[in-house]
Amino acid sequence: MDSNDKLAKMRHSLAHLLAAAVLELHPDALNTIGPAIENGFYYDFDFVSPISDKDLKEIEKKMKKIYNGWKGFEHKEVSPSESRALFTDNPYKLELIDEIVAKKEPITLYTAGKFTDLCRGGHVDNMQDVNIDAFKLSHIAGAYWRGDEKNKMLTRIYGLAFETREELENYEKQQIEAEKRDHRKLGRELKIFVFDEDTGPGLPLWLPNGAIIIEELEKLAKETEFEAGYQRVRTPHIAKESMYIKSGHLPYYQESMFPPMEYEGGKYYLKAMNCPHHHKIFAAMHPSYKDLPLRLAEYGTVYRQEKSGELFGIMRTRSMQMNDAHIYCSKDQFAEEFRQVNEMYLKYFKIFGIEKYQMRFSTHDPARLGEKYVDEPLLWIETEKMVRDVLVESKIPYVEIANEAAFYGPKIDVEVWSAIGREFTLATNQVDFSVPKRFDLNYVNAKGEKETPLCIHRAPLGTHERFIGFLIEHYAGAFPFWLSPVQIKILSIGETHQEYAGEVFQQLKSAGIRAELDDSNESLGKKIREGKVEKVPYMAVIGDKEVGSQTVTLESRDKGNAETIKIAKLIEKFQKENSGRL
C-alpha cells in the first residue's frame, strides 16, 4: 500500500505492535518484515516452536496490553555497525542491512515503547490514533523468506485493520459470503473443473459443465470480434528459442517461462504468450496501409511457470486459454483503435452485470530503461500520452501507476469488482512500440514506403481460467440462463409421466436448449432439492395435469414463481433468453 496513506500508516504501525507482542511471548523468535497490505497487515517470523491459529487470541491480548503504553514512533538514523550490533542475532535483519548499505541508503530505526525495528517508516504520529477495537488477527500461513522457495519457510501472521469497528465487521461478513462463493469449492460442487495429481499442479481439467461455459464465452467473444473486424488465427503451443530471443521475452520474461526442450540440436519453449506468433502471421500477410488496422484474434493456450505457492484454483494456473488479439495500426489510427477496445470492455461489463470497474494505467520508470523496460525514452513518453489522452477523452475511470508497464510499452489492467465487492484484475490492454521493430514488421504506406506499425495487445475477457473463476464468485455459481451448463431440468413425478417427460426433453434438446432429464424413481421433493443445489435456472415438473394438457409446470430459480406453459412457448422463451444472453 501507499506508505503515505493514513490507513496504510495505521496498518503498518499495527504490524510493529504485532512484532512487539510476539517477541514478548516468544523471546526466541526472529522477526523479519511486516508491511501494510490491502485490508490489513502481516509480519513474518521464524519461530523455534511452531504456533497455530489457536495462539492468535493470546497474541491479540498482548498487543492490546502493549498498545496502552505506546505513544509515537521515535526515528533514528544509525550507522551500519550500530544496526548490525543491534540485530547481531537476527540473520534476516542483517541481510536487509547489507542490502541497504549496498544501495547507499540511510539505515533507520523506529522505536515505540520498548520495541525497536529496522524500518523505512510510514507510521502514525500517535499510536492512540489507531482504533484498537478495529483490528483483528485473522490467520497464519507459511511464507518463504523473500518469497523464494529456496529459502526457509517462515510463519506469516495476518491481521485485519480498519478505521472503525463497523468497517471491520462489514469486511468479515463479506469474507463469510466470499467463502460461500469460493470458486474452488463451487467449481468442484458444480462439476466445472478439477485438478489431478498425475496431471500436475496448476493444470486444470475442464469437466463437461466447464467446457460448456468455455464454449459459450468463446461464442460471445467470436461474435463480438467478428462484428469489430477481427480475423481469427491459430498458432502452435511451442516455438524455437530464436523467436523468443527476437521478441525480447527470453531476456525480460524468462523466469515465467518453462525450461526449454532440447530437440534436433535446438531449443524449443512452451509459449507463454501468443504475440510473437501473431507477429509472424502479420509478416506473412505482407499488408499495405489499406489493410490496416489489421486485427488478429485467437483463443490461444499459453503456459506460465508459476511458483507452487502462487497457484490459486483456476485464478492462478500454469496453463491458460487467453482471449488474445493483436491490432496492428498506424499512429493516426491508434486512438480510435484503443478507444474501441475500451468500448468492448464496457459492452462485456454490461452483459455480465459488472457495475464497478477501473482502468489501471501502468507507466514506465525512466530510471530503469534498458533493465526492466526497452530503452526508447521518447517513444515511452509519446505512447503514454496517447493512452492517457484516450482515457481522458473517453471519460473512463482510471488510476495511473508508475513502474508497472510491460517491458515493451504502457498498459492498462482492468480492475473489476464482483457482486460482493471483491476486486479482481481480469483483463489487459497494452501498447507495443518495440517488438514490431524487433521482428522487422512493416507495411507499405500511401507513399509506397515501408513503415513499422504500432501494436495493441488486448484480452478483454482475460483467460478462461481467471474469468470463469471470477464469474463463479460473481454469480455464486448461479450462472445466467445463457451461460448455465444445464439450463432446465425436466422432473417426472412418477413412472406414468416418464414417457411424456422424455418427449419434452427431446424437443428442448432439438431446439438447442441444454436440458437434463431426471426420470428416476426418487421423490419430487428430492429432485427439486438437487436441482437447487446444482443452481439450475429452471425446473419443469411433469405430472398427470401436464401430461393431459401437453404442458409443463415451470419453476424459476431466480424468480421463484411457477407457471404452466406449452412446449412451443417454452422453447420460444428460452431461445429469446439465449439470443439476448439473459
201-253 pLDDT, tens digit each? 999 999 999 999 999 999 999 999 999 999 999 999 999 999 999 988 887 78
Q: What is the CA radius of gyration of the chain?
A: 29
Buried b / exposed e along 462-495 (16+ C-beta atoms within 10 A): bbbbbbbbbbbbbbbbbbbbbbbbbbbbbbbbee
Please tell me the predicted confidence (pLDDT) of residue 244: 93
Give CATH 3.30.980.10 domain extents, the chain.
6-169
Confidence grade of residue 409 (pLDDT, cut at 50, 70, 90): confident
Q: Can you tell me the distance from the alpha carbon of 538 to that of 153, in angstroms, rounded to the nearest whole number?
A: 49
Q: What is the per-residue pLDDT across 114-173, written as a single tens digit (0 to 9) for each?
A: 999 999 999 999 998 899 999 999 999 999 999 888 899 999 999 999 999 999 999 999
Query: Distance between CA 352 and CA 98 in Å, rounded?
Result: 50
Determine if residue 462 is left, alpha or beta; phi over 0 gives left, psi from -120 to 50 gives alpha, anything else beta. Answer: left
Of the chain, the end-to-end C-alpha distance in Å amounts to: 39
Going by the DSSP 8-state scheme, the letter that residue 368 receives in this structure is G
Average pLDDT over residues 536-561: 95
DSSP string for residues in 26-60: -TT-EE----EETTEEEEEEE-SS---GGGHHHHH
pLDDT tens, 257-291?
A: 999 999 999 999 999 999 999 999 999 999 999 99
| Residue 264 zone, left/alpha/beta (φ > 0; ψ -120 to 50; rest) | left
Please choose, from the candidates 152, 126, 3, 18, the residue with its C-alpha nearest in 3D space to the C-alpha of residue 73: 126
The strand pairing partners of 412, in sequence order, are 361, 429
Angle at 379 between CA 375 and CA 380, to 5 degrees: 75
Evaluate if residue 375 carries a pLDDT over 90: no
4, pLDDT greater than 60: no
Determine the Cα–Cα distance for residues 121 and 101; give it in Å rounded to an integer.
Answer: 17
**Angle at alpha carbon of residue 563, lines to 560 and 569, rounded to 5°:** 120
Q: What is the mean pLDDT of the chain?
A: 94
- Judged against a pLDDT cut of 60, whether residue 2 lies above it is answered with no
CA-CA distance, 32 to 148, in Å (whole number)?
14
Q: Tens digit of pLDDT for each residue in 456-507?
A: 999 999 999 999 999 999 999 999 999 999 999 999 999 999 999 999 999 9
Supply the pLDDT for residue 1: 47
**Residue 460: cis peptide before it, omega within 30 degrees of 0:** no
Separation CA 381–CA 365 (nearest Å): 11
Q: What is the pLDDT of residue 171?
A: 93
For every residue of 182-205, DSSP letters joined together read -HHHHHHHTT-EE--TTT-TT--E
Is the pLDDT at 256 greater than 60? The verdict is yes
Q: Any idea of the CA torsion for 230, 234, 237, 241, to the nearest 10 degrees?
A: -80
Can you say whether residue 324 is alpha, beta or left, with left for phi > 0 and alpha for psi between -120 and 50 degrees? beta
Q: Which CATH class name applies to 6-169?
A: alpha beta
d(C-alpha 377, C-alpha 241), whole Å: 28
Please list the alpha-helical segments (H only) found in 395-463.
435-438
DSSP string, 84-149: HHHTTT-HHHHHHHHHHHHTTPPEEEEEETTEEEE------S-GGGS-GGGEEEEEEEEEEGGG-T
Q: Could you read off the pLDDT of 305-340 as tens digits, one per residue?
A: 998 888 999 999 999 999 999 999 998 999 999 999
Indicate the pLDDT class of residue 109, thresholds 50, 70 and 90.
Answer: very high
Q: Give me the pLDDT at residue 299, please.
A: 95
| String of DSSP letters for 517-569 | EE-SSS-HHHHHHHHHHTT-SEEEEE-HHHHHHTEEEEEETTT--EEEEEHHH
Class of domain 481-579: alpha beta
Q: Which three cell numbers stand for residue 12?
A: 503498518
Domain covering 187-475, topology: BirA Bifunctional Protein; domain 2 (3.30.930)
d(CA 471, CA 186): 11
Q: Which residues contact 405 (CB under 8 A, 6 or more apart)?
A: 362, 363, 364, 373, 411
Percent of the chain with pLDDT over 70: 99
Question: Which residues, in sequence order, are CB contacts of 201 under 8 Å at separation 6+?
Answer: 195, 308, 311, 318
Q: Which of 50, 12, 53 is nearest to 34 (CA)?
A: 12
Burial class (CB in 10 A: 0-12, 13-18, 19+), 248: middle
- Residues 271 and 277: beta-carbon distance below 8 Å: yes
**Residues 250-282: b if buried by 16+ CB within 10 A, e if exposed:** bebbeeebeebeeeeeeebbbbbbbbbbbbbbb
* pLDDT number for residue 76: 94
Query: Residue with C-alpha cell 524500518?
Result: 119
pLDDT at 408: 81
The span from the CA of 217 to the CA of 483, in Å, is 8
In a 3-state reduction of DSSP, which class is residue 418? coil
The model's pLDDT over 40-80, given as tens digits with 9 standing for 90+, comes to: 999 999 999 999 999 999 999 999 999 999 998 999 999 99
Confidence of residue 3 (pLDDT cuts 50, 70, 90): very low
For position 397, what pLDDT does the model report? 87
Q: Which runs of E-coded beta strand occur in 277-380?
A: 294-303, 319-329, 357-362
Q: Where in the chain is the domain with CATH 3.40.50.800?
A: 481-579
Q: How confident is the model at residue 433 (pLDDT cuts 50, 70, 90)?
A: confident
Contacts of 147 (CB under 8 A, 6+ apart): none
